């Protein structure tokens, strides 16, 4: 594998590791020199270690550069995406507007006005203006943490049990965040409030990685809730790492928080959850392809009187800073473009989904892994995340582990194709191809999927996989 600065950051046109041929692009990638270092620094400020760029490569831990990379084929919206050209330009304009203010006080006022505009726009998109208050957070995991602290504030001193899907389907930091513990850095796991709760993780897949029946998952959540001590909070994940929804029917008599961080959800569904009194956590950095990361809580107005009078206790980075506002501004460039066309996107997504499923099935080295079953009205009822395992080139009866797939994931990125990060599926792992809003809007151009599978064909050949092990 090549080392040093990534091809799409250095300005080269990636086609393969040997640069056999260029990928098409609709526009040249922006150079960091096109905007001030202050803007780039501000754009990725206020987050955690996941968004920090490696000074050697210019990439964060998800292999995303800090500037647009239209030459990089991205089907990684289930994990993270580089900022779009449109989003970069909009965020840069917002930054310039704030910095043109003559004094720090005026700059703070402009940032506050921008933050309010983002909140109102999110309420408008989700049809939740009369249902919720928006709290902006630096990431989806931060939003989960802030929600957990709000729920804990409703019952000061009472132990809480958080019941949620297994971390392999939600994220390594989520089980810590939902019990009010630091989830990143050297203090990871440290309680942020007295009497931090306990977690119960519910598996969603069988030993062969096939999704468990919905009724079995519902029953498992109900059984865990029945024996839990103290207050119980069930986390309904509407769109896991592999596209599942669980539990479809949460237990009765418990608090429910909806983790919709993937944002692969119809606005009407969000509104329905809010009407039931369930907070909904969303991001602009998954389906909508904004830069990593940007989170938001839509907290039901009916629930606010129960939690606001109680002390909040230092929810980390709870106030929306400049970086959070700029990243959300970039994500809104996609949301604005997508909203006007969303009604007709189901057919487009279904066509893309069928093409991906055919391509995975046509490569004998790839093994499809079940995800969301198509159903329900609108585009969100169509699967948008496709998980597949990879056969060992020597022992074809064995599937590569998540650790082994990380090497393949990096190799593909150096070939100019960024997939969703590997996920653990028990004894083996899976890579993911995700269709995001930017893909449906055609911002990556025609032929994107053909290039993805051409790269997979090359990278999974026995000679290439053998060299990388």
**Tokens in use for 261?**
């961080």
CA of 364: how far to CAs of 72, 356, 393, 434, in Å? 26, 14, 11, 20
The answer to whether residues 60 and 134 belong to one domain is no
| 133 CB-contact burial (10 Å; exposed 0-12 / middle 13-18 / buried 19+) | middle
Q: Is the pLDDT of residue 34 over 80?
A: no
137 within domain boundaries: yes
Q: Left, alpha or beta for 378 (phi > 0: left; psi -120 to 50: alpha)?
A: left
CA 314 to chain centroid, in Å, comes to 25
19 within domain boundaries: yes
Predicted confidence band at 389 (pLDDT cuts at 50, 70, 90)? very high
What CATH number does the domain containing 447 carry?
Answer: 3.90.1150.10
The C-alpha atoms of residue 273 and residue 262 are separated, in whole angstroms, by 16
The answer to whether residues 271 and 400 belong to one domain is no
Among 337, 358, 376, where does a domain finish?
337
- Mean pLDDT lowest among 3-17, 186-200, 280-294: 3-17
What CATH number does the domain containing 325 carry?
Answer: 3.40.640.10
The answer to whether residues 189 and 51 belong to one domain is no
91 within domain boundaries: no
**Average pLDDT rounded to a whole number, residues 141-153:** 94
Q: Is the pLDDT of residue 2 over 50?
A: no
The answer to whether residues 140 and 190 belong to one domain is yes
1 within domain boundaries: no
Residue 83: name the closest of 139, 23, 40, 113 by CA: 40
Whether a cis peptide bond, with omega within 30° of 0, leads into 247 is: yes
The 10s digit of each residue's pLDDT in 75-130 is 999 999 999 999 999 999 999 999 999 999 999 999 999 999 999 999 999 999 99
92 within domain boundaries: no
Predicted confidence band at 35 (pLDDT cuts at 50, 70, 90)? low
**Tokens in use for 257?**
């928080």
Domain region containing 249: 97-337
Among 337, 370, 391, where does a domain finish?
337
The predicted model scores a pTM of 0.89
The answer to whether residues 400 and 331 belong to one domain is no
The answer to whether residues 161 and 249 belong to one domain is yes
Count of structural domains within the chain: 2
The answer to whether residues 12 and 46 belong to one domain is yes
The 10s digit of each residue's pLDDT in 304-327 is 766 654 434 434 343 469 999 999
The answer to whether residues 25 and 158 belong to one domain is no
The torsion defined by the Cα of 205, 206, 212 and 217, in degrees rounded to 10, comes to -70
Q: Is the pLDDT of residue 257 over 70?
A: yes
The answer to whether residues 252 and 288 belong to one domain is yes
Predicted confidence band at 197 (pLDDT cuts at 50, 70, 90)? confident
The answer to whether residues 59 and 134 belong to one domain is no
14 within domain boundaries: yes
CA-atom Rg of the chain in angstroms:
22
23 within domain boundaries: yes
Among 337, 366, 389, where does a domain finish?
337
The answer to whether residues 218 and 274 belong to one domain is yes
| Placement of tokens 């270690």 in the chain | 49
The answer to whether residues 148 and 297 belong to one domain is yes
2 within domain boundaries: no
């Amino acid at each position: 594998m090549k080392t040093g600065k990534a091809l799409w950051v250095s300005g080269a046109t990636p086609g393969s590791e040997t640069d056999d041929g260029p990928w098409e692009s609709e526009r040249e990638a922006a150079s960091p020199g096109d905007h001030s270092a202050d803007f780039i620094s501000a754009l990725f400020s206020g987050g955690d270690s996941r968004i920090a760029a490696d000074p050697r490569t210019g990439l964060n831990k998800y292999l995303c550069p800090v500037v647009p990379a239209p030459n990089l084929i991205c089907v990684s919206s289930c994990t993270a995406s580089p900022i779009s050209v449109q989003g970069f330009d909009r965020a840069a304009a917002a930054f310039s507007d704030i910095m043109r203010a003559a004094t720090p006080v005026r700059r703070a006022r402009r940032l506050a006005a921008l933050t309010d505009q983002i909140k109102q726009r999110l309420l408008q998109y989700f049809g939740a203006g009369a249902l919720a208050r928006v709290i902006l957070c630096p990431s989806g995991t931060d939003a989960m943490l802030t929600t957990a602290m709000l729920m804990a504030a409703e019952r000061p001193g009472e132990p809480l049990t958080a019941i949620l899907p297994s971390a392999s389907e939600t994220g390594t930091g989520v089980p810590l965040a939902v019990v009010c513990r630091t989830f990143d850095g050297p203090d990871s796991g440290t309680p942020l409030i007295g009497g931090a709760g306990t977690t119960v993780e519910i598996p969603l897949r069988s030993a062969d990685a096939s999704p468990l029946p919905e009724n079995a998952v519902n029953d498992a959540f109900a059984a865990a809730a029945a024996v839990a001590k103290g207050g119980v909070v069930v986390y309904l994940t509407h769109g896991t790492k592999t596209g599942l929804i669980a539990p479809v029917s949460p237990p009765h008599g418990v608090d429910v928080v909806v983790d919709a961080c993937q944002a692969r959800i119809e606005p009407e569904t969000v509104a329905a959850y809010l009407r039931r009194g369930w907070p909904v956590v969303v991001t602009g950095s998954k389906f909508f392809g904004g830069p990593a990361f940007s989170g938001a809580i839509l907290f039901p107005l009916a629930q606010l009187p129960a939690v606001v009078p109680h002390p909040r206790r230092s929810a980390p980075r709870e106030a929306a800073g400049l970086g959070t506002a700029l990243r959300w501004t970039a994500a809104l460039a996609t949301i604005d473009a997508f909203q006007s066309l969303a009604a007709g996107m189901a057919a487009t997504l279904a066509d893309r989904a069928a093409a991906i499923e055919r391509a995975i099935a046509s490569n004998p080295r790839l093994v499809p892994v079940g995800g969301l079953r198509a159903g329900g009205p609108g585009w969100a009822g169509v699967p948008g995340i496709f998980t597949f395992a990879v056969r060992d080139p020597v022992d074809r009866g064995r599937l590569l582990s998540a650790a082994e797939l990380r090497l393949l994931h990096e190799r593909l990125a150096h070939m100019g194709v960024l997939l969703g990060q590997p996920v653990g599926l028990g004894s083996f792992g899976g890579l993911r191809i995700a269709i995001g809003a930017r893909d449906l809007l055609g911002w990556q151009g025609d032929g994107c999927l053909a290039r993805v599978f051409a790269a997979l064909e090359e990278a999974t050949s026995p000679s290439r996989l053998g060299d990388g092990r």
